[in-house]
Amino acid sequence: MARKKVSKKELQKRGRSSRNRGKDYERNCANCLKEVYPKAARLYGQSRKGSDAPDVGGTPFWVECGTGSTIAIRNKLKQALRDSSESEDTRYAGKPALVFVRTANNEHIVSMERSQFMQLLSVVEKAFEIVEGADDGPARKRNQASSEVVRSR
The one-letter amino acid code at 58 reads G
Residue 133 lies in domain: 114-153
Helix (H, G, I), strand (E, B) or coil at 3: coil
Cross-strand bridge partners of residue 57: 41
What percent of the chain lies above the pLDDT cut of 70?
Answer: 69
Number of structural domains the chain divides into: 2
Q: Is residue 2 part of a domain?
A: no
Q: Is residue 64 part of a domain?
A: yes
pLDDT recorded at residue 145: 46
pLDDT recorded at residue 137: 45
Give me the CATH number covering residue 99: 3.40.1350
Instruction: Could you list the beta-strand ranges (E) of the chain.
Output: 41-42, 56-57, 62-67, 97-102, 108-111, 128-131, 139-142
Q: Are residues 94 and 126 in the same domain?
A: no
R_g over Cα of the chain = 20
Nearest to 63, CA basis, from 48, 88, 37: 37
pLDDT recorded at residue 41: 93
Q: Is residue 20 part of a domain?
A: yes
Q: Are residues 69 and 128 in the same domain?
A: no
As a whole number, mean pLDDT of residues 123-127 equals 83
Looking only at the bridges linking them, the beta strands covering 97-102 and 62-67 are parallel
Q: Are 134 and 118 in contact (CB under 8 A)?
A: no
Higher pLDDT, 135 or 39: 39
As a whole number, mean pLDDT of residues 112-120 equals 93
- For 6-63, the pLDDT digits (tens) are 676 665 666 666 777 778 899 999 999 999 999 999 987 555 566 688 999 999 999 9
As a whole number, mean pLDDT of residues 98-127 equals 90
Q: Is residue 4 part of a domain?
A: no
- For 80-92, the pLDDT digits (tens) are 999 999 988 888 8
pLDDT band at 153 (very low <50, low <70, confident <90, very high): very low
